[in-house]
A and B are shown apart, each in its own frame.
Chain A
Amino acid sequence: MATATGTGFSVLTLDGTTGEENEGRIRVDVQQQLGIRAFGTNAYRSIEGGELIREHDEAGFHIANNDQEELYVVVEGKATFNVDGEKIAAPTGTAVLVRPESKRSAVAEEPGTTVLAIGGTPGEAYIVLPEEFREAYEAYSEKEYEKSIEIYQGILASGFPNEAGIIYNIACNEALVGRTDNAFEHLKSAIQADGRVVELARTDTDLDSLRDDPRFKELVA
């Protein structure tokens, strides 16, 4: 619950009263809730114990803030981290720094176990995603692909610095509505903006309608 908000400060408690519940854990988008601009911050609180942080790494392509190093701080309870196959016991007060390319996951050993994750890309300024990203993603999730495209185009027009991911998402939406030629155009320019997009395109089911087209093989193979 946000307990106080001045113009220049805000306060939040990680007691489980705020955040979104999903599969036995509560995720708090701390960065967004508090309005933090200089680094990324999330919190995860387990309700009954069990999976707290799903296995992932930070080396893949993202809309922004690629290759983040991430610091996990156990604020309450007791967690077990697994980093590149190695198990780490992490009671309250433990800090675990994980490099971008390492696979990491965490399990809560007790109900109420809470982990704060803080991330940033070394040598780069943190980029706050505008609210429109959430709206574009929601539209996409609700299969309102044209609406999603429109929102992404608005973000592009606003001068957001990392274009590749946005253009790629436009291509995905276009592929899903059957605008094949537009989708290829955007997929091509996304790959030109950042070659790592190819890795995404290879397995992304959003692009399935393009796969048998010779243009797809040319771009992605």
Chain B
Amino acid sequence: MATAKNTAYRVVALDDVKVGPSFFPEGEAAGRERLNVRGDLGITSFGINAVRIPGAGNLIREHTEIGFGSSGQEELYIVLGGSATFVLDGEEVETPAGSLVYVRPEVRRSAVASDEGTTLLIVGGTPGEAYEVPPAEAEEAFAAYNAGDFETAVEKQRAAVEQVPENLIVLFNLSCFEARAGKTDDAIEHLKAAVEADSGVVELARDDTDLDSLREDPRFKELIG
């Protein structure tokens, strides 16, 4: 429950923060939820969200924050309640409630909850760069995509692209949603624009099943090779 709101400050109980779309279907199966702390509080100078899970299970899928499509963020994980086990570049670290785990972008990390009622708060930012607030529409588009509503996903993602036209991941995802929605010409057009802006997009496109409906199209073959 939000206990007080005004322009000078905002207060929330983390337990009551709105559940946002998950980016981790495996964790979702175990009841993992992602809480949109940054969006709920209106924070603009760093990224912050939380994940929680009722029992044992995957909290953070294995990943790094480097490579094409990653933000280059460093992250601080705060264990609130419960207990977690992190694996950081192969090293296992037990982190009971009250632990702070700081992870540089290049470190391969994952975490599982090892006790009941584990919540992780995740704070992120890119060193030397101002935090850029992602458009709310991108998150709404992702939620629609997860729900299988590809028409809405396309509509929301188009609005997101308008706000951050230089963000190639947002553009690439638009192409994915369009491919899913059967809008082949639009999908090819946006994929082409993304590849032309950065050939690194080719790597993303090669294995992304969202683009399967495009694969037999000669234009796709020409773009991706």
Contacts and interface: CB of A to CB of B under 8 A. Distances in A.
A36 B102 contact: yes
Interface string A67-83: 01101010110000101
Interface stretch (A48-56, A84-92, A169-177, A195-203): A84-92
Contacts of B10: 96-97
B116 interface: no
Contacts of A125: 127-130
A97 B41 contact: yes
Given A83-B9, A84-B8, A86-B4, A126 B96 contact: no
A98 B106 contact: no
Nearest to A68: B45
Q: Which of the four size classes fits the interface of chain A?
A: 35 or more
Interface in A98-125: 98-99, 101-102, 104, 114, 116, 118-125
A105 B44 CA distance: 22
Interface stretch (A37-45, A179-187, A213-221): A37-45
A20 interface: no
Contacts of B143: none
A36 B46 CA distance: 13
B12 interface: yes
Interface residues of B, number: 55
B14 A94 contact: yes
6 contacts: A8-B89, A68-B45, A88-B9, A89-B3, A95-B12, A121-B45
Interface string B168-187: 00000000000000000000
A89 B4 CA distance: 10
Given A9-B88, A39-B45, A95-B37, A120 B96 contact: no
A99 B7 contact: yes
Interface stretch (B23-31, B75-83, B190-198): B75-83
Contacts of A69: 43-45
Contacts of A190: none
A35 interface: yes
B96 A90 contact: no
B133 to A, nearest CB: 9
